[in-house]
Amino acid sequence: MAKSASKNAKVKDLKASAEAKNWTKVIKALRSPKTGAYTFKESIIHKDKVKDFLAQ
C-alpha cells in the first residue's frame, strides 16, 4: 500500500500555489543607442509592480 500525503502537506501546497499566481515574468525590449539592436531584460516580479517595471 502506498502512503497518502498528509493533510498539512496538501494545505501547504495550496498556499504555495496561490502565492505563486501573484508573480509574473515580464520581458522588456530595450534598444541599444550604439548599435540599434534590441536587447531584452527579463524579470520575475509581483503582479502589482508590473507598471513600475515597464515605466523604468
pLDDT recorded at residue 50: 93
Query: Which segments in the chain show pLDDT lower than 50?
Result: none
Structural domain including 46 reads: 22-56
Number of independent structural domains in the chain: 1
34 within some domain:
yes
What pLDDT is stored for residue 21 in this prediction?
A: 87
Please state, in angstroms and rounded to a whole number, the distance separating the CA atoms of residues 17 and 7.
16
Instruction: Kindly state whether residue 48 falls inside one of the protein's structural domains.
Output: yes
Element (H, E) at 22: none
In a domain, 12, yes or no: no
Q: What gap in Å lies between CA 40 and CA 4, rounded to an integer?
A: 44
